[in-house]
Chain A
């Protein structure tokens, strides 16, 4: 059974970069049917998809975050990462990593990490 776990700082100063890592066990990051995703949740905006990354390193990012987000993946180390630059208080949220699976031609997030609360504050 796949298990995902987010790690990183819980407090980031405004204008700095938020960096998170998702460690994956129980599954290979190289399987071609899976993408690996970041999703965040804040009281003001609910659940917001940030982006997906494939084992090749190709990724798709929410258009509203495209200028500030990069994602990387290390299949040998079984983790993928999120960098969000120039953070503001609006980026305060619980950040989840998740596995995007596909069946019956439909994609969905079938496994999630426990989430990590990141607060942007000086």
Chain B
């Protein structure tokens, strides 16, 4: 299994902030990295696929970068609806694995 490690685990922030979440893979996964947002009581929602491709319908304030073993998710201009938990997930091999999550909180 490829371990996925996110940092930080929690991230205090304010509306309008630029926030960055880091995800590190236990081995080279090239660009096979996806980001999801999960709000309380709801299923995860795909934000970014292939490290940097914005999923249709996702606001452009979300962006992703990185390759190999280190990746980042950036939210430029945090909005009230962005307070949630964010997960990275590798799709390089089986079993698919997820990071432990980063909670963006007020």
Contact = CB atoms under 8 A, between A and B. Distances in A.
A96 interface: yes
A106, A108, A110, A114 interface centre (most CB from chain B within 10 Å) = A108
B35 to A, nearest CB: 9
Interface of B: 1, 31-32, 34, 36, 42-46, 49-51, 53, 55, 87, 89, 91, 94-101
Interface in A7-32: none
Nearest to A115: B43
Contacts of A107: 32, 91
Nearest to B32: A106
Interface residues of A, number: 22
Question: Do most interface residues of chain A lie in helix, strand or loop, or is the interface mixed?
Answer: strand
Given A106-B31, A106-B34, A108-B49, A47 B44 contact: yes
Contacts of B46: 108-110
A109 B31 contact: no
Given A62-B95, A104-B49, A109 B44 contact: yes
Interface of A: 46-49, 60, 62-64, 96, 98, 103-110, 112-115
Contacts of A60: 94
A63 B98 CA distance: 15
